Amino acid sequence: MAIMSEAFDPAYGEAWNAAQLSSFVTLPGVTLTIAQINGAWLGFSLVRMIADEAELLLLAVGRQWRGRGVGKALLNDCLAMTRLSGIETLHLEVRENNPAVHFYRSIGFEQVHFRPRYYRGRDGTSYDALSFRLKL
């Protein structure tokens, strides 16, 4: 939860709480991957696989580890895992002004949809959600 708190700015209200996260990781087809060095947790990814599709639900990296390739390593692990599982398409959704949008586009994700005013910040401001997919 410490990484979740660091990775998701509280102004946007996107972080999951402990109950949501713990109940979700027990579902079939869900994989939690943790990046760590010498016992220190750097980040994690949460992926759900159903049939021949998968969704990257969360990708979080602690502040001090950003820009060091941790997110890319987690995403590469996700891509390898999904390909080995026979997944053909990986989906994700992200807030329109999230800096990660540039990262996902650089990997080859294409925007396929948007949801107007999907996210609501703590101050009541609404943000569009961008839906992306990557054909594997």
Amino acid letter for position 96 = E
Tokens encoding 21: 């996260």
CA geometry: angle 105, 85, 20, nearest 5 deg? 70
- Catalytic residue numbers, as ranges: 93, 104
Q: Can you list the alpha helix ranges (DSSP code H) found in the chain?
A: 2-7, 18-24, 70-84, 100-107
